[in-house]
Copies of this chain bind each other. A is one copy, B any other.
Amino acid sequence: MATARRERYRKQTREEAKAVALAQLSESGTAGISVNAIAKAMGMTGPALYRYFASRDELLTELITDTYRDLAETLAQAVADAAPADRFRALARALRDWAKRQPDRYLLIYGTPVPGYHAPPETTEIAASLMRTIFDACATVGEAVEADGGGVDGGRQQPLTELEAELARHLEGAGPWGPGEEPGGEVKGRALRTWTRLHGVISLDVQGQFTGMGFDPSVLFEAEIDALVRGG
């Protein structure tokens, strides 16, 4: 039981390996992560690392789940720190800031799936938790319109009946809502479409598709936020 030192050491070198892997990731992308190179950078030979990670894929998985957790915490924190009325704005900005700070990590979870990689069930759980945070904040979008805008029926102008009907039926487990407090298709649709819009500009930005166009992507993002909170 007093072998805590060993476990501590083990965890420590695993963390160091992942840190080096992250550095490689931002330099040469997903494919640039090399077990051999990581080991060499840590001052040991290649096969030694296989005492800590069964395979390159396991290391990748660890990187991905860590990223999910980090992003989820960051967003939850941002939401918690914001005034209730600004929750969505805070989440949106926190999401983009995080993505811009570490583009490769954003692409690690929301980008092109890694070649032969299949996410273990453990990963999807963490992913769902992250989605819960995002959906929760996105669902509040447009509620501001209800407050100062129209009458009883709130900010609803045009019914998105098809989508809402579809979502009312499905999106059960994946949604952020526990059993019983599940909202109608309207809220679900708002959350879903808000998320896709945020991802649209963030992903294009992070992938560098805006470079050369000469405008400031953050202005575009702010405009999209404004349009979203106005219910547009």
Chain B residue contacts of A114, Cβ below 8 A: 29
Chain B residue contacts of A29, Cβ below 8 A: 112-116
A230 within 8 A of B: yes
Given contacts A204-B199, A220-B193, contact A215 B111 (CB under 8 A): no
Chain B residue contacts of A230, Cβ below 8 A: 158
Nearest-CB residue, chain B, relative to A107: B112
Q: Are B213 and A171 in contact, CB atoms less than 8 angstroms apart?
A: yes
Given contacts A174-B213, A197-B197, A213-B170, contact A223 B115 (CB under 8 A): no
Interface residues on chain A, size class: 35 or more
State which of A13-21, A58-66, A94-102, A159-167 sits at the interface with chain B: A159-167
A3 within 8 A of B: no
Interface string of A105-127 (1 = CB under 8 A from B): 00100111111100000001000
Interface string of A60-104 (1 = CB under 8 A from B): 000000000000000000000000000000000000000000000
Considering the complex of A and B, which 5 residue pairs feature the smallest CB-CB distances, nearest first?
Answer: A200-B200, A170-B214, A163-B223, A29-B115, A111-B112
6 contacts between A and B (CB under 8 A): A29-B114, A29-B116, A158-B230, A171-B215, A193-B201, A196-B220
New A-B contacts (8) at CB < 8 Å, excluding given A30-B112, A162-B219, A193-B224: A31-B115, A32-B116, A158-B226, A166-B220, A173-B212, A189-B223, A196-B204, A199-B203
